[in-house]
Amino acid sequence: MNSNWAAGRVAFITGATSGFGAALARRVVRGGGKAIATGRRIERLAALATELGGNLLPRPLDIRDEKAVRATLEGLPAEFSGIDILFNNAGLALGMNKAPATELRDWKTMIDTNVTALVTVTDSILPGMVARNRGDIINMSSVAARYPYPGGNVYGATKAFVSQFSINLRADLLGTKIRVTSVEPGMCETEFSLVRFDGDEDAAKAVYKGLTPLSADDVALTVEGILQLPAHININVMELMPVQQAFAPFAVDRSN
């Protein structure tokens, strides 16, 4: 890969306080580019800025707040305003209960974060990309978008939205030089399961017991590879899993 691949580029990264977001911010800055790192945990953003220096612009932001999203973008310094990489990464799953036992507030939180906030950020940044006729939109989906599992209910549905939204953006952007990719990872050990299980470290660790899962940097490396491809190549969907994860047979109820 080109060690200076991101020179002259500016990335806007949601959910940059950990996991995929922080990993891609490091790769963009170390690749010669600039990154706007957003998230709710101010101390994490400050630490990332200390690590990466002046080409990392930390911006505390809850992307569910539309006014805050617009204000953040309007207040960017000139050298960070020409965003041509949008990494729609922020998202979460809450709980593993089957639908009858879930809390509606958890469903709404997932929809607000994974769907509504993602389209708000996209709507805010896309006009600038169109005006400059360049850019990459990388939307973080999941294998849960395509493969249902018990307890996946609304989380899987939100990621199905992300995947479908991505390919519909591609249809709408035909005739421009803007690329759109839906990245759909399988089991990846980040803070994802810790959030899903409400901070229960034992439950989170059990998810990955006995296997080598993907890491945040594995996914960031994949995204970097997509971004380094020649400008005429668009990766519509990138699905990746650890070698120790595959596909299950259909579940069948034989009780009757």
Distances from the Cα of 48 to the Cα of 7, 41, 57, 59, 155, angstroms: 19, 11, 9, 11, 28
Q: Look at residue 114 and tell me if it is in a domain.
A: yes
- To the query of whether residue 155 is one of the catalytic residues in this protein, the response is yes
Quick one: pLDDT at residue 199? 92
Quick one: pLDDT at residue 248? 86
Q: Look at residue 255 and tell me if it is in a domain.
A: no
Q: Look at residue 244 and tell me if it is in a domain.
A: no
- How many structural domains are present in the chain? 1
Q: Look at residue 236 and tell me if it is in a domain.
A: no
- The whole domain housing 35 covers 10-230
Distances from the Cα of 161 to the Cα of 115, 118, 148, 166, 236, angstroms: 7, 10, 14, 8, 15
Quick one: pLDDT at residue 249? 86
- What CATH number is associated with residue 58? 3.40.50.720
Q: Which among 147, 149, 155, 208 is annotated as catalytic? A: 155
Over its length of 256 residues, how does the chain's per-residue pLDDT go in tens digits?
Answer: 688 999 999 999 999 999 999 999 999 999 999 999 999 999 999 999 999 999 999 999 999 999 999 999 999 999 999 999 999 999 999 999 999 999 999 999 999 999 999 999 999 999 999 999 999 999 999 999 999 999 999 999 999 999 999 999 999 999 999 999 999 999 999 988 999 999 999 999 999 999 999 999 999 999 999 999 999 999 999 999 999 999 988 889 999 8
How far separated are the first and last CA of the chain, in Å rounded? 57
Whether the model clears a pTM of 0.85, i.e. scores above it, the answer is: yes
Q: In whole angstroms, what is the distance from residue 89 CA to residue 66 CA? A: 17
Q: Look at residue 250 and tell me if it is in a domain.
A: no
Quick one: pLDDT at residue 2? 83
Q: Look at residue 2 and tell me if it is in a domain.
A: no
Q: Look at residue 242 and tell me if it is in a domain.
A: no
Q: Look at residue 235 and tell me if it is in a domain.
A: no
